Amino acid sequence: MNQHTPVTIKDIARKFKCSPSTVSRALNNHPLINEDTRRNIQEYAQKVGYQRNSVSLSLLNQKSNTLGVVVPSLNQFHETAMIEGLQNILQANGYMMTICVTNESYTLEKEYVEKLMANRVEGIFLSVSQETYDSGHYQHLENILHRNIPLIFIDREFDGVPTNSIIVDDYWGAFTATEHLILRGFKRIAHLKGPNGLTVSEKRFKGYKDCLAKHQIAFDENLIITTNFKAESAIMPMHRLMSLENPPDGVFAVNDVVASAAMQVIRDLGFSIPQQVAIIGFDNSPFSAYMFPSLSTVNRFGKLIGEEAARLFLNNLNLQTKQNETIVLPPELIIRSSTLS
């Protein structure tokens, strides 16, 4: 073999008396290739110095074995749990994942989607950014479907784009958390809200308000604090809240981190948890069980969302006609010491 001509897949196929696509699959660790064949072909390819050229390969429309994941942030436990769930299933099936973080920007979401498609990903898992909701633009999402690339919404879907989605019922989670406090006898319930205008904040806020209404408890605007999801943003307003003439006896926090900061303020001011003030968070993050007292919360099943989304993707690969499913997971109330007097 001429040392100076690059070895091609066809050369290897001739050597093994098989088709070029078998060689390609062996080199790409396709799950359906016999283990011995794969090893023999890979060892030979390495010996003769075969170099694959992914870009030209993708122009020929070969498989990339890569999937795109587009999420608005990575700062919250929930998003990394979803990615862990996706990885658990998809890496075992030979896929690699490219993760893109939009920071809630429509422009970045659109650019990432275009770039993922240009790189020939075989599927896109996407959690819609806030700016995309606000703008109402969804052509970039429809483009994915027009190109016949599987699109699966994870956690946040875009109504009107017909595809698979797996979401958690945030409204219901908030309603259940608030109702738990009411049923335990707490009546003056504050809400530490997420940023205004963020869909996820507003859904939880509505769940809280509707639950008060159901139990004929008057909504009191003085008991609403707006946070940025971070602990620090809850400290000063929580001090103010606990200094009211008529302070709250219950707190529903938009997430566990904000709840942890509120607990510190409550403790520091000498109130007992949960006897004088009960508190419940949202997320079931890893440390919530180890707060003092341990924090009641709402499980959003991030890892399960990722695993189920991966299974939906894999199942759909084998179907002749695609099915569009929307799976809504009910959040789970987790009751710990912070609401059990």
Nearest to its own copies of 58, 199 (CB atom): 58
Work out whether 112 is an interface residue with its own copies (CB under 8 A): yes
Cα separations in angstroms, 326 against 159, 167, 283, 314: 11, 8, 21, 16
Task: Select the span of 36-44, 183-191, 208-216, 260-268 touching its own copies (CB under 8 A).
Answer: 260-268
Q: 293 to 312, contacts with its own copies by CB under 8 A?
A: 294
Which residue in 8, 42, 62, 103 binds its own copies (CB under 8 A)? 103
Q: Which is closer to its own copies, CB of 58 or CB of 226?
A: 58
Q: How far is the CB of 303 from its own copies (least distance, A)?
A: 10
Distance CA 177, CA 211 (A): 9
Closer Cβ to its own copies, 120 or 156, answer by number: 120
Q: Using an 8 Å Cβ cutoff, are 158 and 128 in contact?
A: yes
Determine the length of the chain.
Answer: 341
Does position 261 interact with its own copies (CB under 8 A)? The reply is yes
Nearest one of 206, 338, 336 to 273, comparing CA atoms: 338
The CA-atom distances, in angstroms, between 125 and each of 17, 28, 43, 147 are: 39, 22, 34, 15
According to the binding rule CB under 8 A, does residue 100 interact with its own copies?
A: yes
Q: Tell me how many residues contact its own copies (CB under 8 A).
A: 47
Contact in structure between 187 and 217 (CB atoms under 8 Å): yes
25 binding its own copies? (CB under 8 A) = no
Should residue 55 be labelled a site residue for its own copies when binding is judged by CB under 8 A? Answer: yes
CB atoms within 10 A of CB 236: 11
119 binds its own copies (CB under 8 A): yes
> Taking the complex as a whole, how short is the minimal distance between the CB of residue 137 and its own copies, in angstroms?
12
- CB of residue 41 vs its own copies: minimum separation in angstroms? 16
Nearest Cα neighbor of 151 from 138, 139, 136, 161 is 161
Residue placing its CB nearer to its own copies in the complex, 171 or 301: 301
* Cα separation, 87 vs 72, whole angstroms: 18
- Considering only CA atoms, which of 63, 76, 74 is closest in space to residue 31? 63
* φ and ψ of 311, to 5 deg: -65, -40
Question: Is residue 120 a contact point for its own copies (CB under 8 A)?
Answer: yes
Element (H, E) at 201: helix 199-214
Contacts 24+ apart (CB under 8 A), 270-273: 271/242, 271/247, 273/338
Query: Which residues are within 8 A (CB) of 308 and not within 5 positions of it... i.e. 6 or more apart?
Result: 85, 166, 327, 329
Whose tokens are 């946040």? That residue is 156
Residue 87 CB, shortest distance to its own copies, in Å, is 6
Does position 225 interact with its own copies (CB under 8 A)? The reply is no
- Supply the minimum distance, in Å, between the C-beta of residue 141 and its own copies: 17
Residue written as token pair 């566990």: 256
Q: Is 257 in the site for its own copies (CB under 8 A)?
A: yes
DSSP H helical segments within 28-169, as ranges?
35-47, 54-59, 77-90, 106-118, 130-135, 139-146
Site string for its own copies, 67-86 (x = CB under 8 A): -------xx----x--xx--
43 binds its own copies, rule: CB under 8 A:
no
Q: Which stretch binds its own copies (CB under 8 A): 35-43, 109-117, 128-136, 159-167?
A: 109-117
- For its own copies, which residue of 114, 214, 219, 244 counts as binding (CB under 8 A)? 114
Binding of its own copies at residue 8 (CB under 8 A)? no
Which stretches of the chain bind its own copies, using CB under 8 A? 52-56, 58-59, 66, 74-75, 80, 83-84, 87, 91, 96-101, 103, 108, 111-112, 114-115, 118-120, 230-231, 256-257, 260-261, 263-264, 267, 285-287, 289-292, 294
